[in-house]
Amino acid sequence: MRRELKQDIAKALKGEEDMEEAVRKKVLSYSRKIQEGSQEWDILFRKHYQEELKKRGRMP
């Protein structure tokens, strides 16, 4: 049972990493360079993160 739980957690963390990487690539693909950590970056990151959650069926 521990092994299954450990595998489930590892899978979830990998999914989060994949999602963050996809979102980061979207924000970096803008023609205008946006400084990471800026307010604009945060807003765009949240927007695209929410879209990615919906796309992957993790949010209603």
- Domain ranges (residues) in the chain: 32-60
Per-residue pLDDT of 3-51, as tens digits, reads 998 898 998 888 889 999 999 999 999 999 999 999 999 999 999 999 9
Token pair in block for residue 37 = 């950590």
Task: With cut-offs at 50, 70 and 90, classify the pLDDT of residue 60.
Answer: low
pLDDT at 12: 85
